[in-house]
Structures are given as structure tokens and as C-alpha cells.
Amino acid sequence: MPTPASQAVADVLPHAVSSEAAAPRSSWFGRLLRRLSSKTGLATAVERDPLLAFASESPVEAAISAAAAASVQKPRSRARLWVVLASALVILAAAAPFALAQIELLRANAAGSQPGRLTIVTHPDGASVMVDGQSRGMTPLTLSVSPGPHTVSIRSGINERVLPVTVGARADIVRDLEMTNSPSPTTSGALSVTTDPPGAHVTIDGAPAGTSPVTFDALSAEPHTVIVTGATGSAERTVTVAAGHTATVVFSLPKVSGPVGGWLSVTAPFEVQVIEKDEVIGSGGAARIMVAAGRHDILLANRALDYQESRHVEVAAGTTTSVRVDAPKVTLSVNARPWADVAIDGNDIGQTPIANVTATVGTHQLVFRHPQFGERRQSVILTGKGPNRVAVDLTK
């Protein structure tokens, strides 16, 4: 059976619930404001009357308060949910620009770390390449290089190029270089040789250098001997080349106005062959040898006597140039048994044994004389190779 207190609660609850249900549902923001206002009002009342902070001791009032609290518990939970959601949306809206900026920064960093491509081509090929002090190969060369500044060194022979190169991410850079080895103007010069008439053979310091007119580069800065040889003659001159300059020399050769050839006449105490450019063009003692006018380098030789001698002769057109050969000196040793007085080519040289008698290469007549064994003659050939020794036994 319901007590008076429970009946009072029952009478009050329907009115409270119906009143709550009858009130129109406002927005979550309105409810939040009302809650804040109610809390503020309650706090203000408590400040005015501290006794209001204690719960009522009346059973009816306690029941009413509990029922009212239960009736508003559900709206309060919904309000909290909406507050949390609203706060999350505000935070997301504030953080979105920062997050987008971070994403773009990460993308930019990823793109900036990608390597670039560096291609190096040189003329001529085969130059060595170093990047930041590390050898990377020979040209032509294509390299994958990290973005940023780099120092590239290219060396070909005595030439070296140092290039500062800045490589961007995914960039494609090409460097085409001319690496011709050119002589330094401080240590070398040039020489221009011209002849009249043109077409003469030119030698510099004994080395063939072509046909005039001609210019020679990269000559050392010092005196050089220039010889030109044409159909009508030859000429020789010493030219000093200065560093970084071009020296010019002009030769005037005789004009063709008569014979273009001349003759050689070789006189020697023994047979010799006249050789020019590994070819035998005549022999000594024979008739004159006809050659072209100009300078000639000849070799006089006798293989049997082990004799040879080089000569430089100048043959003028229409004339005869004489070449005289003087036989070289050698030594001779002579002995006889038991002993003998010896003469060579009619000249007494003493009594055996005889050592280191000076004579010329070639054929000689020796005469040996002994008072008991008489006289004996012998022909000997003295050579440049040696040793030259003669011994006879007069007792036989």
C-alpha cells in the first residue's frame, strides 16, 4: 500500500516528466547555454545561502530531486557528446592547414633528394674525370650525382680543367670540352720557312719537316738549324725561336738557268764504294759520278778493310766536286825466326821482334832479310778492325 510520501512522489513525477516532455527540444547549443546558466545560478544561490549546498532532509523533496536528476541524465550525456564532437571539429579545422603544409614539405624533401645526371664529353676522348676528389672514369661519361654543388676535374695529358657544377634534383647537365694538348706559349714558339722557288725539302735540327712553305708549331725556345734543299741547290741557316712568337726565315735558292746536275770525283788509296741513302751510286777511282745539284750525305766504305766514313758534300749544278780519302792509321806487329831486318814498302822499320809499327790500312809489301837465310818478301793487308800481326819462319 503506498505511503503518503510515495504517493506524493507519484503525484509530483508525472507533472515533472510531462512538463519536461512538453517543453520544446532546443538545439544542442541552446541546451548547453541553459546548462551553463543553471549551474551559474545554482552557484550564485549557494554563495548567497550556504545552506542550499546541503541536500533536503524531506523524503518528498529527495524523491523529487532524484527523479528530476534521472530525467535530465540522458540529455546531459547527449550534450557532452555534442561538445566533444564540436571540439574535435574545431581542432581538426585548426590543424588541417598545418598538416597540409607538412605533407607538402615531405613531398618537396623527397623530390629534392632525387639525384641528377651529369654527362661529360671531351675532344679527344679518354680524359680522366674526378668529382669532389674521387675518380669516376674516362670520357665520354654519364654520372648519377646527388643534388647540390660539386667540383669536377677533367685531365687530358698536360691539360686540366676544373669546373664548379651545381646539380639540381632530376636535372640533366651536359658539359662538352675541348682538351687539345697545346704547347705553352711561355716555353715554345713557332717557325715559318719559305723558299724561293717553293717546294724545297726542309729539315730542322736534322729531322725532315716537310716541303716549303711550311710553319712548325711547338718548337722549343732556342736556336734551331734549318736546311732547305731544292732542285737548284741547298742552303743552311740557324734561326732562334723566341717563346710565344713565330720566327720567319726566307731562303732564296738559285734559279734554274742551266744544268741541274753535277759530278762527284772520289780519290782514295784503296777501292771505296760511294753510297747514298743505302744505294751504291759509284766507286772511288772510277769516272766521275753524276748526281743532282745540291747537298748530299754520302758514305765511303770498303768492307774488306773494315773502313767507312760519312761525308757531307755540296754539288753545284754543272760542276765537279772532288772528294779525297786519306787512309786511316793502324798498328802492325812483326816477328821472324830466328830474326830478320824488316822493311815495309821499301822503308826499313828495324829488326824483329817489332811491335806497334804505324801504317795505313790497305795492302803493303814486307821484306825480311837474314845473313844466313837470305831474303823473303810477303804481301799483307792491314785492316781497321785489327789486330794486325805478321810472323815468318826463315828456317823453312
The pLDDT of 18-30, averaged and rounded, is 46
Query: How many distinct structural domains can be found in the chain?
Result: 5
Domain assignment of residue 200, yes or no: yes
- Within 8 A by CB and 6+ apart from 230, the residues are 195, 197, 199, 200, 201, 253, 294
CA angle 177, 183, 186 (to 5 degrees): 120
pLDDT value of residue 198 = 86
Between CA 335 and CA 368 the distance in angstroms is: 10
Q: Compute the mean pLDDT over every residue in the chain, rounded to the nearest whole number.
A: 77
Q: Residue holding cell 517543453?
A: 23
Regarding predicted confidence, which is higher, 183 or 296?
A: 296
- Bridge partners (DSSP) of residue 227 are 203, 236
Whether pLDDT at 42 is above 70 = no
Residue ranges making up the domain that contains 221: 188-252
Last residue of a domain, one of 127, 149, 178: 178
Lowest mean pLDDT among 83-92, 252-261, 383-392: 252-261
Mean pLDDT of all residues in 291-312: 88
pLDDT at 362: 87
pLDDT tens digits, 54-84: 445 544 444 445 444 444 455 556 777 777 7
Highest mean pLDDT pick, 8-17, 203-212, 278-287: 203-212
Question: What pLDDT is stored for residue 342 in this prediction?
Answer: 92
Decide which of 354 and 87 is more confident.
354
CB atoms closer than 10 angstroms to residue 279: 7
Using the Cα atoms of residue 95, residue 101, residue 105 and residue 106 in order, give the sign of their dihedral.
positive
Side chain identity at residue 62, one-letter code: A
Q: Quick one: what percent of the chain has pLDDT higher than 90?
A: 12
The helix (H) or strand (E) run that includes residue 394 is none
Shortest CA distance to 76 belongs to which of 36, 21, 16? 36
Same domain, 13 and 105: yes
Enumerate the β-bridge partners of residue 295. Answer: 314
339 plus 360 within the same structural domain: yes
- Cβ of 134: how many Cβ atoms within 10 Å? 7
DSSP 110-135: HHHTS-EEEEEEEESS--EEEETTEE
In this structure, the answer to whether residues 92 and 53 fall within a common structural domain is yes
**Measured between alpha carbons, how far is 378 from 396 in angstroms, rounded to an integer?**
14
CA atoms of 178 and 123, how far apart (whole Å): 5
Helices (H), ranges, 209-289: none
Q: Which residues contact 185 (CB under 8 A, 6 or more apart)?
A: 243, 244
Tell me, yes or no, whether 165 and 141 share the same domain. Answer: yes
Angle at the Cα of 325 from the Cα atoms of 324 and 331, rounded to 5 degrees: 155
The answer, yes or no, to whether residue 241 has pLDDT greater than 50, is yes
Among 199, 230, 252, residue at a domain's last position: 252
138 and 103 share one domain? no
Q: Which three cell numbers stand for residue 117?
A: 645526371
Classify 36 as helix, strand or coil: helix
CATH of residue 247: 2.60.40.10
Look at residue 24 in the predicted model and tell me its pLDDT. 44
Positive or negative, the CA dihedral 376, 381, 382, 385 is negative
Q: Which amino acid is it at 283?
A: S
> What is the pLDDT averaged over residues 255-261?
63
Determine the Cα–Cα distance for residues 257 and 343; give it in Å rounded to an integer. Answer: 57
pLDDT digits (tens, 9 = 90+) for 134-190: 999 999 999 998 988 999 999 887 678 888 988 888 788 888 888 875 544 457 888
Work out the end-to-end distance of the chain between its first and last CA atoms, rounded to an integer number of angstroms: 188
Average pLDDT over residues 233-259: 80
Could you tell me if residue 218 is inside a domain? yes
- C-alpha 352/C-alpha 349 separation (Å) is 9
Check residue 1 and give its pLDDT.
44
Look at residue 247 and tell me if it is in a domain: yes
Question: Would you say residue 139 lies in a domain?
Answer: yes
Residue 272 has pLDDT above 50, yes or no: yes
Q: Is the pLDDT of residue 20 over 90?
A: no
Residue 344 has pLDDT above 50, yes or no: yes
Whether 352 and 306 map to the same domain: the answer is no
Based on the fold, state whether residues 89 and 17 are members of the same structural domain: yes
In percent, the amount of the chain with pLDDT more than 70 equals 73
The answer to whether residue 183 sits within a structural domain is: no
Between 57 and 19, residue with greater pLDDT: 57
How much is the pLDDT for 43?
46
Residues 139 and 218 in one domain: no
Least confident of 233-242, 253-262, 324-333: 253-262
Tell me what the mean pLDDT of segment 295-299 comes to.
90
Q: What is the DSSP letter of 51?
A: G
pLDDT tens track for 95-104: 777 777 677 6
342-362 average pLDDT score: 90
> Which pLDDT score is estimated for 17?
38
Is residue 132 assigned to a domain? Answer: yes
pTM given for the model: 0.35
Q: Is residue 333 in a domain?
A: yes
For residues 137 and 102, state if they share a domain: no
What is the pairing mode between strands 233-240 and 246-252? unpaired
86 lies in the same domain as 120: no
Higher confidence at residue 350 or residue 101? 350
- Answer whether residue 279 is part of any domain: yes
> Does 310 score more than 80 pLDDT?
yes
C-alpha gyration radius of the chain = 62
3-state secondary structure of 105: helix
Which residues are CB-contacts of 213 (< 8 A; sequence separation ≥ 6)? 192, 193, 194, 195, 198
Both 101 and 47 in a single domain?
yes
What CATH number is given to the structural domain containing 380? 2.60.40
pLDDT at 115 over 70: yes
Structure-model confidence comparison of residues 8 and 187, the more confident one: 187
Cα–Cα distances (Å) from 185 to 177, 182, 220, 221, 226, in that order, read 21, 9, 10, 10, 21
Q: Are residues 337 and 315 in the same domain?
A: no
